[in-house]
Each structure stands twice: as structure tokens, then as C-alpha cells.
């Protein structure tokens, strides 16, 4: 039957095309590094903005009233939290090249926890909850939620060199 044979050949061609598109080699290393570079650049920019905003608060808020100081820092910390959350959403589920596949799995597993920590920081600051902030500072470490970037990725994504 020519029709059945044609259908089988078409199905095989479609499967082969799909397999070629997915490939066993994972994502494009340059595109992967470029995405990470942008994420690191955005996070660094958000950190610098936070630092500048906190410096601007000096002299306007009493440093002896910790609750007032915490509430005054709420907007800048909220901006940082939002920026980090947005940046991390961009790396969730990235198509990683094979050399970064294990790292990407750890990233995918940690994005929600990292975003949660930043949201808790934002919420506690907005409430002026200094006790919650102290507890977070005592119990949360960066390595608890964000895996360290592999050296090769830091080399390719220059804006990630300090991460």
C-alpha cells in the first residue's frame, strides 16, 4: 500500500526532525551564557540601586529607631526583591547545554525557595518586623537557596564573574 508506506515515511521524517531539533547536546552554550549574563547584570544593578537607596536614607531616618529604619528601607528592599524574582524567573527551565545540565537542575530546584526568601525579606521589611529579619539573617545563607555558578559559565557570562 503506497499510502500506508508514505504515512510511515512522513511519521519517521517528523520524528527525525523533532529529534534533531531537541538534540542530545542540550541548549546552545552561547545563548545559555547570554541569558545568565543578563540575569547577573540585572541582579547586580538591583543591588547597586538598593545600596544607593539605603545611602539616601541616611540622615533622613533615625538610626536609633530600628523599626522606623526598617520600614523606611521597605521600598528599596521591595525593589530588590522584585528585581531578583523577575531575573530568576528568566532562568527557570532554561535549555542548558550538557555541561551545565546538572547546574540547571539545581537552579530549577532552587528558584522557588530563593524567590520565597526574597518575598519574606520584602514582607518583613514592610511590616517593620525586625525579629523576622534577624531570624532570616541568622538562618538563611546564600548557598542554602542559590547554587554557585560553574566556573565555565562565569567565564562565558562576564557579568556573573562575582556570583
Query: What pLDDT digit, counting tens, does each position of 83-124 carry?
Result: 999 999 999 999 999 999 999 999 998 898 888 888 999 999
12-32, pLDDT tens digit by residue? 333 333 333 333 347 999 999
Contacts of 71 (CB under 8 A, 6+ apart): 125, 126, 128
Determine the pLDDT at residue 14: 30
The full set of domain ranges for the chain reads 28-144
Determine the pLDDT at residue 21: 33
Distance between terminal CA atoms of the chain? 62
Paired strand residues for 97? 26
pLDDT band with cut points at 50, 70 and 90 for residue 150: very high
**C-alpha cell, 78:** 521591595
Distance CA 68, CA 160 (A): 34
Determine the pLDDT at residue 16: 31
pTM of the model: 0.74
**C-alpha cell, 157:** 557570562
35-75, pLDDT tens digit by residue? 999 999 999 999 999 999 989 888 888 878 888 888 889 99
Distance CA 32, CA 100 (A): 9
- The crossing angle, in degrees rounded to 10, of helices 74-91 and 29-57 is 180
Distance CA 135, CA 4 (A): 68
Distance CA 61, CA 55 (A): 11
Distance CA 8, CA 104 (A): 37
Residue 61 three-state SS: strand
Q: What is the mean pLDDT of residues 76-81?
A: 93
Contact 150, 26 (CB under 8 A): no
Contact 44, 161 (CB under 8 A): no
Per-residue DSSP letter, 158: G
Amino acid at each position: 500500500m503506497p499510502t500506508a508506506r508514505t504515512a510511515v515515511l512522513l511519521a519517521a521524517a517528523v520524528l527525525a526532525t523533532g529529534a534533531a531539533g531537541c538534540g542530545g547536546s542540550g541548549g546552545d552554550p552561547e545563548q545559555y551564557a547570554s541569558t545568565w549574563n543578563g540575569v547577573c547584570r540585572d541582579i547586580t544593578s538591583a543591588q547597586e540601586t538598593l545600596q544607593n537607596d539605603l545611602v539616601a536614607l541616611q540622615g533622613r531616618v533615625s538610626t536609633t529607631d530600628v523599626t522606623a529604619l526598617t520600614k523606611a528601607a521597605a521600598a528599596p528592599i521591595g525593589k530588590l526583591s522584585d528585581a531578583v524574582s523577575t531575573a530568576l524567573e528568566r532562568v527557570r527551565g532554561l535549555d542548558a547545554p550538557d555541561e551545565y545540565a546538572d547546574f540547571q537542575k539545581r537552579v530549577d530546584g532552587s528558584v522557588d525557595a530563593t524567590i520565597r526568601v526574597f518575598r519574606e525579606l520584602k514582607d518583613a521589611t514592610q511590616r517593620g518586623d525586625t525579629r523576622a529579619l534577624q531570624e532570616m539573617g541568622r538562618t538563611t545563607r546564600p548557598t542554602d537557596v542559590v547554587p554557585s555558578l560553574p566556573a565555565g559559565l562565569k567565564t562565558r557570562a562576564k557579568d556573573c564573574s562575582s556570583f
